[in-house]
Amino acid sequence: MTDTPADPKPFQRHFVFLANTAWTSSEIQLNDLPGSGRIDEACRAINSGIWLSHALREHVKVTVILKGRPDPPLSLTFDTNKLRYVRPDERSTGGFIKKALEHVETYGTAAFAGLTITANGLAGSLHNAPYIYWLDGGGKDLLNVAMPQNPVFVIGDHKGIYQEDKKVLKKHKARKVSIGPQLYMGAHCISFLNIYLDRLAHYRVMEHSNNSGTQG
């Protein structure tokens, strides 16, 4: 049975997507995102993380860690509470990343329009995160895992999660969780997690207001 505390606050969720081959250069081709180290997967992961229909989500961060050529790693963190100038199609997200990479090449690591760019790999991106969940088909069923208010989820791309990052996850005592019996695409995992947390928060609010009513 799901063990969830009755707390109606929204979840402050953070998705960390490992883009193992995505280029770290502004040479990425908007007409060929897959040919740019499969950066198309990172674009879909970002879009699954930050968007509702017609609106940006609130309280969501998505970090994509680009680990491809020529200068890995680079972490791009999108914060929906500050983001500006984004659109929900994959090509626009690719364009946003390309501009960010041009900015890095010109000025060094930087932040603009709700996007923070650092030279962090996974360890730097998980710094100080208390609740880390490692998305893995062999993990514990998510439905039986109590969710804190501020979970961090780490998700692999088509290559999965490399040994070097698995070591970091073990060191941070990340908890392996499974979302279902099949192997899913990373972006689909993020969509599922977002909707799952929306539902948990919704039912917590209902429970909270029912309890408040009976106590009055």
Ligand X SMILES: C[S@@+](CC[C@H](N)C(=O)[O-])C[C@H]1O[C@@H](n2cnc3c(N)ncnc32)[C@H](O)[C@@H]1O
- Summarize as ranges the residues that interact with ligand X (CB under 6 A): 135-137, 155-158, 160-161, 178-180, 182-186, 189
Nearest approach in angstroms of CB 85 to ligand X is 29
Q: Rank residues 138 and 213 by Cβ distance to ligand X and give the closer one.
A: 138
Cβ distance to ligand X smaller for residue 35 or 180 = 180
Q: State which residue, 68 or 114, has the beta carbon closest to ligand X.
A: 68
CB of 155 to ligand X, least distance (A): 4
Cβ nearer to ligand X, comparing 86 with 135: 135
- Residue placing its CB nearer to ligand X in the complex, 18 or 28: 18
> What is the closest distance, in whole angstroms, from the C-beta atom of residue 210 to ligand X in the complex?
32
Q: How far apart are CA 72 and CA 117, in angstroms?
A: 12
Closest approach of Cβ 134 to ligand X, in Å?
7
How far apart CA 74 and CA 78 sit, in angstroms, is 13
CA distance 80 to 61: 6
Alpha carbon distance, N-terminus to C-terminus of the chain: 29
Minimum CB distance to ligand X smaller for 59 or for 166: 166
Pairwise CA distance, residues 213 & 160, whole Å: 47
Minimum CB separation of residue 53 from ligand X in Å reads 23
Distance CA 214, CA 161 (A): 48
Q: How many CA atoms lie within 13 A of 84 on its CB side?
A: 4
Minimum CB separation of residue 188 from ligand X in Å reads 8
